[in-house]
């Protein structure tokens, strides 16, 4: 099976611009999560989508948003870019069974999109 | 709040040395535990995971980890490291109905040939 793919791999933007990142999950995986990785803060959870609905959200400002399509592909958007948004943005997918009191899915990560904000 | 602590920021070992990377978590319920590895220039890969059952779990490439519930720990071990194990290692936890991962800050492992 093909792994998680992310496009583009690299992006350079300037402050104030907006950006859209794309993620295609592993075939058959229904959940897509996004993470931000920076040297200072490490890996931080942004949000998770399942069945085209945002099901869980991390502690990031509203400038960060996302969506999921019916084929489980997901996009992440960052508006009004700031210098501090420079990071590696990782997408992870999991099969995700719905419901249950304990989620036991395993997340598989893509290569990431490296965003540089100038 | 949930958190994960990795005590060592950078570990330097010679080949054939034994490895133990510490991981402690804070979470008030049943947890799933993971170790991921990020080799230079590559994406995060799953090394091993613990959901339930035998607290000693074995992963890929000879790695293993032991879940000690009373200590809230999930330390990663390997009896003999190789130069190719040079990478950054991340401990992560998830819990409850939410599957999102809480990561530690990572430990960089450098193995000298």
Q: In this predicted structure, what is the pLDDT of residue B99?
A: 73
In this prediction, residue B30 has a pLDDT band, given cuts at 50, 70 and 90, of confident
Say which residue, B28 or A12, is predicted with more confidence.
Answer: A12
Q: Out of B90, B92, B98, name the one closest to residue A103 (CB).
A: B98
Helical spans, DSSP H, in A8-118: none
| A90–B44 C-beta distance less than 8 A | yes
B6 contacts chain A (CB < 8 A): no
B88 contacts chain A (CB < 8 A): no
Q: Which residues of B touch A111 (CB under 8 A)?
A: 42-43
Average pLDDT value for residue range B45-65: 93
Q: Give the class (CATH, top level) of B3-112.
A: mainly beta
Average pLDDT value for residue range A1-28: 95
| A44–B100 C-beta distance less than 8 A | no
Q: Chain A: give the shortest CA distance to residue B82, in Å.
A: 24
A36 contacts chain B (CB < 8 A): no
Geometric angle at alpha carbon A68, from B51 and A19, rounded to 5° = 110
Where are chain B's structural domains? Answer: 3-112
Report CA dihedral (A57, A58, A62, A64) to the nearest 10 degrees.
Answer: -90
């Amino acid at each position: 099976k093909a792994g998680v793919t992310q496009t583009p791999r690299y992006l350079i933007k300037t402050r104030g611009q907006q950006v859209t990142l794309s993620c295609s999950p592993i075939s058959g995986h229904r959940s897509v999560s996004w993470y931000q990785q920076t040297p200072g803060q490490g890996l931080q959870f942004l949000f998770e989508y399942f069945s085209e609905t945002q099901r869980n959200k991390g502690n990031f400002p509203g400038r960060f948003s996302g969506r999921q399509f019916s084929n489980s592909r997901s996009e992440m958007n960052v508006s009004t870019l700031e210098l501090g948004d420079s990071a590696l943005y990782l997408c992870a997918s999991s099969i995700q069974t719905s419901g249950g009191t304990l989620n036991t899915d395993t997340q598989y990560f893509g290569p990431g999109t490296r965003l540089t904000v100038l | 709040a949930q958190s994960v602590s990795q005590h060592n920021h950078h570990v330097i070992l010679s080949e054939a040395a034994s490895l133990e990377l510490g991981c402690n978590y804070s979470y008030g319920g049943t947890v799933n535990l993971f170790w991921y590895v990020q080799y230079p220039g590559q994406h995060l890969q799953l090394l091993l995971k613990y959901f339930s059952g035998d607290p000693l779990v074995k992963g890929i490439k000879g790695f293993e980890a032991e879940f000690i519930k009373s200590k809230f720990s999930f330390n990663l071990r390997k009896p003999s490291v190789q130069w190719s194990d040079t990478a950054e290692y991340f401990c992560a936890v998830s819990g409850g109905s939410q599957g999102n991962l809480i990561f530690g800050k990572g430990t960089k492992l450098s193995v000298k040939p």
